[in-house]
Structure 1
């Protein structure tokens, strides 16, 4: 009798409202744990404790989920505040690298159109920073920095721990410098080289004599 009475029947725990934020958070967790190949709409719905139909009401395809997850990774790269243009550019590149390394699967998605607010916001920040430096070709400078970050993360993600000493013996120069190294230190040094070059032609912060020396001849 008690099971038939609504007031005496045990209450089921209330379901959490499904939101885009919850979907993205769970998708990130699934991707981090199992990778892109294991991400399916059905599996994601199960982890969210909902039905596929409800999930499809918010996102239409797996590609939608991947686009949202990738933009969330960009969102983890905090925008630097304060400092000169070089410090801000360095801070953003370092934060972007760290975010992608926390989510290595994101590297394989960088050929997708990145139209989310986090990706566009950080790209705009980088362009604005380089524009404030007075660089003559902001697009080329931004492309150089982003390509360096992507390349560095890709190489680190595919780094092999194997001992290549014997394999590299016929290549003495390469063997002398080695393939095994401190990735963080190498990234910081390489980024510094790029920014050093940009600083030479950036008029902001340079004395007038340096600008005349570094600029094109008349």
Structure 2
């Protein structure tokens, strides 16, 4: 079965007006409110005040809706100017990407899907073009792209999960459990393995380490 981006888009139908844009906007709102588990074609049709048959005219399955919604949130990521230092452009792009996924916590767990939407492809093209401008060539270009993408997805997923499971009592009990094993895990206890953190600052530091490593490879290729 081909994905939504590989099928011709239907543009007309007799009956109540319902555009792909309306469907996607409502799907994102439903996903933000209830997560992937709350997204069903029936629930989406109800929110759109449309019958399931009308909805299926535009999208063939829930997977289509998810793909369209993912591409929609990628559209929130501002494109860098591609005029400055390549690492600055990569940082701007990936910082915006993570912020978009944090705003839409359901998204990070779904990024492993094959994504062929125009917003995804455009931003991936900008990422690789910036790395290429910095001097990376294959196989290092592909490796760096995947390393950076996986870091952003992992950071957003961890942040989203932490927020969804935010239970102060459970967190306190976990800290107490860890503190009781200080001799076994001294570094984790000392450096706050389970403490609250500045997520933006932590992400930015980690991204700096990755970009410094890439820059070092460019200067001294193996």
Band the TM-score falls in, shorter-chain normalisation: 0.7 to 0.9
The equivalent residue for 1:192 is 208
Partners of 1:148 and 1:36 lie apart in 2 by 22
The equivalent residue for 1:80 is 80
Structure 2 residue 32 is the aligned partner of structure 1 residue 32: yes
Q: Deviations over 1:90-126 (max 9, x none)?
A: 0111001000001111122122111111111111111
TM-score by length of 1: 0.83
Count how many residue pairs are aligned between Structure 1 and Structure 2: 192
The equivalent residue for 2:113 is 112
Q: Deviations over 1:139-180 (max 9, x none)?
A: 111111111111111211222551233222221101111132
Greater relative contact order (Cα < 8 A, sep 6+): 2
Structure 2 residue 179 is the aligned partner of structure 1 residue 176: no
Q: How do residues 141-152 of structure 1 correspond to structure 2 at under 5 angstroms?
A: 141-152=144-155
Aligned to 1:166, the other structure's residue is in SS state: helix
Q: How far did residue 215 of structure 1 move?
A: 4.0
Partners of 2:190 and 2:46 lie apart in 1 by 52
Question: RMSD in angstroms over aligned alpha carbons?
Answer: 1.7
Partners of 1:114 and 1:141 lie apart in 2 by 19
The equivalent residue for 2:128 is 127
Structure 2 unmatched ranges of 5 or more:
1-14
The equivalent residue for 1:167 is 177
Aligned to 1:104, the other structure's residue is in SS state: coil
Aligned to 1:35, the other structure's residue is in SS state: helix
Partners of 2:63 and 2:161 lie apart in 1 by 24
Structure 1 unmatched ranges of 5 or more:
1-14, 203-210
Structure 2 residue 23 is the aligned partner of structure 1 residue 23: yes
The equivalent residue for 1:52 is 52
The equivalent residue for 1:11 is none
The equivalent residue for 1:3 is none
Bigger CA drift: 63-72 or 167-176?
Answer: 167-176
TM-score by length of 2: 0.81
Partners of 1:109 and 1:119 lie apart in 2 by 13
Partners of 2:16 and 2:99 lie apart in 1 by 31
Q: How far did residue 16 of structure 1 move?
A: 7.4
